[in-house]
Structure 1
Amino acid sequence: MPLRSPSSAPISQRVSAAHVDAIGIAPTHIASAPATWAFIGEHVDYFGGVVIAGLSDLRVAVAVSARNDGAINVSYTCSADSDSPQEDSITLAQLAELAAAQQLGTDSEGLTVYPDPPTGGMAARWGGVVHTMINRQLLSRDTAGFDITVVSDIPCNAGLGAYSAVDVALALALVGEDSELKDAPVRARIADVCTQAAGCFSAIPPVHARHSSALRGAEDAVTIVDYADGSVTHAPHPVTQEVQAYAITAPQDFDAVEAGAELRRRERFIDAACHAFGTESLRMLPDAPQRVIDWLQAVHKVYGAQGQPSIAEATQWLAFYEEETQRAKEFASALRSRRGAALFPLLEQSQGGLNGVYDLGAAPHLAQLAMSRGALAARCAFAGVFNSVIAYVPAKNALNFAADLAGDRLAVCALNPGVPAVLEA
């Protein structure tokens, strides 16, 4: 399988042309956003942990123009996989119904009743961004629909946040020309809107840090998001002249609904525990693992185990969240002090910690293959969802490494530092 590289034509020009071809009019606004990749910690955001993510030079671009019939029409072309657009549509009325169906309920015992996980595809997810922006007063309540055209150079199913990048680019395009778009508080609000929309409408729950990184990241730096206090900081990028990163992906039969439902099961357990202890995050709760297990045992005893994780499952999850958060903190410290040699053992420890906690599919085999071919470290790109890993390779061996894996019929994509999301036109 050939090495993947983006088109040479500017992506903003390509999405503008695609919008004119599909809709027949020029777009009102165009925005672009980068691919994001998690170095470590992408599953501990709900726990209140630390997530470290980087921006790639691979991007998506979104073009929008208004409609007046209440429809959200989406045309999506992933140039990394196909030149044929996928199309989907939904109405604002349908989005309102989907949002209402995701509201929490309460049973006769006073326990929270969670709705079935959302199963939405492209139109539901990105129409959900429109719906959420209307309700968060970032768009007028007179909004009556949009035509949305997406062109993506980010490979699908590679764990590089392609859909999260579209969320962000779409939100910027919808906001349009705003003098405050570069201000951190405004970008933080847009990131929160994107995360809320994806959580409510998309089959796959979002990695919160992807939206924050795409909007608030920095060129040649990684983004560190500490969910204990919501802080966003930066540290020197580990991909330098000495180290090259690659996303390596194996073919898979992808079931977004099943993968998303399992991730949400864990998130809802954390939500319930936080509610029980009256805390915003379990990381703020002293002795959280033991106290949460004691609480879960009491829940099992009083209400039964139906709809709850087993004690063994919960113990394993909580141990991983604690250990992964500590690893992420150590990773951030090593980045800031420029101790490059300390980074890769932490990534290997993280990969080992993921085993048994998530259904990794073929990802562990990809990681082992990458290590056997000379990688310094290889870690799942999005554990439990994609058969993809991020490998870090000595730059002097990078081209041979990539060519060997491409010869094994794996999709190989070079990851170079990128820039945050911007309004293009």
Structure 2
Amino acid sequence: MPMWHHPDSPAADRARELHTRLTGAQPQAVASAPATWNVIGEHVDYYGGVTVIGLVDLRAAVAVSPRTDDVIRVTIAENNEETTEDSSLEALAALAAAQQPTTDSEGRTIVPPAPTGNTHTRVAGMVWMLINRQLLSRETSGMDITVVSDIPPHAGLGARSAMDVATALALISDHEELADAPMRARIADVCAQAVTLFSEVPPLRARHTAALRGAAETVSVIDYADNSVTQAPHPLGKEMSGFVVSVPAAGDIAASVAHIRARQRFVHDACHAFGTDSLRLLPDAAPRVVDWLTAVHEIDGPEGQPTLPDARNWLAFFDDETTRAQGVARSLRSRRGTELFSVLGSSQTELAAIYGLENAQQIAELSALRGAVGTRAASAGIANAVVAYVPAVKADLFADDLSEAGLDVIALRPGEPARPE
């Protein structure tokens, strides 16, 4: 199996052409956004931790034009397939309303079932969210949205997040402050909120932030304790190559997604109980949260709550992974590359052993046998794929070996941030 093909023509040009063919008119606006790859920390954003993430040159592009019949028609072209689904603002409003918590007769919160929207619903939901965040006119009465993505959807490279960002930028492409950091931070927030309401897969906020505020020559260091975004030197270059190695087809991630949502709900409930936006900023968080959870078990019972051992393990992982992410940022900034791979190795071990997301462990071991000096899950729990760091002199042989083994091998070439086209 050859390496993943990098297209000869820009995704934006093909999105414009497809949109024109489908609608019979030129799009009102076109935008594109890059794939993103996780260095470390993607499971601690909701804890208030640190995420390090980079951009890839594969892109998703979106073309849009208004309709007058309340229909939001989303066409997605990826993996040599083209699919179209219709929705409406009324239907999206109903889906959003269904995600609002309610209370029972005793005043206890009833958590709604997780959203089940597919990618088309997720993209359409961006229209509803932008309207309700006052970034898109309330006079909007429908939209044709055409998506062309060159990002493999199964490889942990944020294909859906790139679609989110490109859709948002295309829909508000005439906004005067679109290039300003505060506006881009706001757009990232809107994207994450839309995904939370409509998507069957929970958001990784760092992907939206990096796609909007990252840079080709660096990786973004996002600290969710204060929502700061800084840049660190890129770990890949003349001496070190990077690849994502992935099983060619998407697997069943329902169980992993349920586990991830359970951890997010646990952190959300704990933050609410202590009146804080971030558990990381809560003094003595681990013992205090465990004491709180013990009381919850005693009063309301353990149903719908993690066990105490699980909670302790999760809290320890959040703290340790944040420390590791900070260490990775320091290693990159001080050019101490050898420290980077030992830290990433520890992260990968704990993702599998403590956090329970081990679906990429076998690929990590195979990549190490074939010459990778460092490996880590590309998106633990979401994709059966790893990021592999390979000395440049061995890169071609590594890619050939893994491709011949039947795996998708995607080169991590630096990408540019999201932009109107």
TM-score, normalized by the shorter chain, greater than 0.5: yes
Deviations 1:324-350 (A, max 9, x none): 000001111111122122111111010
Residue 412 of structure 2: which of 404, 412, 415 is its match?
A: 415
Aligned residue for 2:103?
A: 106
Aligned residue for 1:366?
A: 363
Residue 353 of structure 2: which of 356, 378, 381 is its match?
A: 356
Aligned residue for 2:165?
A: 168
Aligned residue for 1:218?
A: 215
Q: Structure 1: which 5+ runs fail to align?
A: none
Q: 2: CA distance between counterparts of 1:300 and 1:3?
A: 51
TM superposition shift of 1:110: 3.3
Q: 1: CA distance between counterparts of 2:139 and 2:253?
A: 33
CA RMSD, 1 decimal: 1.3
Aligned residue for 2:291?
A: 294
Aligned residue for 1:308?
A: 305
CA contact (8 A) 1:225 1:233 kept: yes
Aligned residue for 2:48?
A: 48
Aligned residue for 1:283?
A: 280
Aligned residue for 2:76?
A: 76
TM superposition shift of 1:260: 2.8
Q: Is the alpha carbon distance of 1:253 and 1:61 closer, same or farther for their aligned partners in structure 2, counting shifts above 3 Å? A: closer
CA contact (8 A) 2:245 2:385 kept: yes
Matched, 1:181 2:186: no
Q: 1: CA distance between counterparts of 2:359 and 2:191?
A: 30
Name which of structure 1's ranges 171-180 and 402-411 shifts more when overlaid on structure 2.
171-180
Q: 2: CA distance between counterparts of 1:410 and 1:339?
A: 31
TM superposition shift of 1:261: 2.6
TM superposition shift of 1:205: 0.4
User: Alignment length, in residue pairs?
Assistant: 421
SS in 1 for 2:117: coil
CA contact (8 A) 1:33 1:169 kept: yes
**TM-score normalised according to structure 1 size:** 0.97
Paired AA for residue 298 in structure 2: K
Q: Is the alpha carbon distance of 1:240 and 1:253 closer, same or farther for their aligned partners in structure 2, counting shifts above 3 Å? A: closer
Deviations 1:68-113 (A, max 9, x none): 11111111111xx3x2212222111100000000012223443322
SS in 1 for 2:30: strand
Aligned residue for 1:33?
A: 33
Q: 2: CA distance between counterparts of 1:45 and 1:231?
A: 12
Deviations 1:156-194 (A, max 9, x none): 111000000000001000001233111000101101000
SS in 2 for 1:157: coil
Name which of structure 1's ranges 332-341 and 409-418 shifts more when overlaid on structure 2.
332-341
Aligned residue for 2:94?
A: 97
Deviations 1:47-82 (A, max 9, x none): 00000100001111111111111111111111xx3x
TM superposition shift of 1:257: 4.5
SS in 1 for 2:184: helix
Q: 2: CA distance between counterparts of 1:315 and 1:361?
A: 19
Q: 2: CA distance between counterparts of 1:121 and 1:259?
A: 17
TM superposition shift of 1:216: 0.5
Paired AA for residue 76 in structure 2: Y
TM superposition shift of 1:253: 5.4
Name which of structure 1's ranges 101-110 and 47-56 shifts more when overlaid on structure 2.
101-110
Name which of structure 1's ranges 350-359 and 388-397 shifts more when overlaid on structure 2.
350-359
TM superposition shift of 1:358: 4.3
SS in 2 for 1:85: strand
Q: Is the alpha carbon distance of 1:361 and 1:329 closer, same or farther for their aligned partners in structure 2, counting shifts above 3 Å? A: closer
Q: Is the alpha carbon distance of 1:133 and 1:257 closer, same or farther for their aligned partners in structure 2, counting shifts above 3 Å? A: farther
Matched, 1:244 2:222: no
CA contact (8 A) 1:72 1:123 kept: no
Paired AA for residue 369 in structure 2: S
Q: 2: CA distance between counterparts of 1:107 and 1:330?
A: 45
Aligned residue for 1:63?
A: 63
TM superposition shift of 1:360: 3.6
Name which of structure 1's ranges 45-54 and 10-19 shifts more when overlaid on structure 2.
10-19
**TM-score normalised according to structure 2 size:** 0.97
TM superposition shift of 1:419: 0.8
SS in 2 for 1:222: strand
Name which of structure 1's ranges 336-345 and 225-234 shifts more when overlaid on structure 2.
336-345
Q: 1: CA distance between counterparts of 2:51 and 2:358?
A: 23
Q: Structure 2: which 5+ runs fail to align?
A: none
Q: 2: CA distance between counterparts of 1:159 and 1:58?
A: 13
Aligned residue for 1:327?
A: 324
* Identity %, equivalent residues: 52
Q: 2: CA distance between counterparts of 1:110 and 1:267?
A: 22
Aligned residue for 2:341?
A: 344
Name which of structure 1's ranges 220-229 and 258-267 shifts more when overlaid on structure 2.
258-267
Q: 2: CA distance between counterparts of 1:50 and 1:217?
A: 15
SS in 2 for 1:355: helix
